[in-house]
């Protein structure tokens, strides 16, 4: 059965939140490669709720080390964070829905490439 991991993060400033979003987009495939669905919702001026869906608890546990690396990278700018996880007991997506978000896969690819260029020197 698929499971969901819901992470709540409150940042110390708007700048910190924006920097963390950029880092997440740049590292999502590196740190969370086995997430099947990721939905990040800005729940307040300084807070984000992230919902990630994994195939199983075993798959979700595979990225805990990398998840901690991401958490450590933003820790100095985080006021509070915690997560829940549990069995996915309902999922619906309207096949005709036009879901619009601030960031898209195109943005993720851009920030990922930018990060790789920075690493390369």
The pLDDT of residue 120? 86
User: What pLDDT, in 10s, does the model give residues 27-69?
Assistant: 999 999 999 999 999 999 999 999 999 999 999 999 899 999 9
In angstroms, the Cα distances linking 42 to 8, 17, 50 are 10, 9, 9
The pLDDT of residue 51? 97
Q: List domains and CATH numbers for the chain.
A: 3-120 (3.30.70.100)
Query: Of 121 and 29, which is predicted with more confidence?
Result: 29
Write the DSSP string, 22-34: HHHHHHHHHH-TT
The pLDDT of residue 118? 87
DSSP 45: T
User: What pLDDT, in 10s, does the model give residues 100-110?
Assistant: 898 888 888 88
Percent of the chain residues topping a pLDDT of 70:
100
């Amino acid at each position: 059965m698929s499971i969901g991991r819901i992470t709540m993060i409150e940042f110390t400033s708007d700048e910190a939140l924006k920097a963390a979003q950029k880092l997440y987009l740049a590292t999502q495939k590196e740190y969370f490669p086995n997430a099947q669905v990721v939905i990040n919702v800005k729940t307040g001026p300084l807070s984000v709720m992230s919902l990630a869906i994994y195939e199983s608890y075993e798959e979700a546990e595979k990225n805990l080390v990398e998840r901690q690396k991401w958490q450590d990278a933003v820790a100095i700018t985080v006021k509070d964070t915690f997560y829940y996880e549990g069995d996915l007991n309902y999922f619906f997506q309207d096949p005709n829905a036009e879901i619009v978000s601030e960031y898209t896969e195109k943005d993720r690819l851009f920030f990922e490439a930018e990060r790789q260029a920075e690493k390369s020197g």
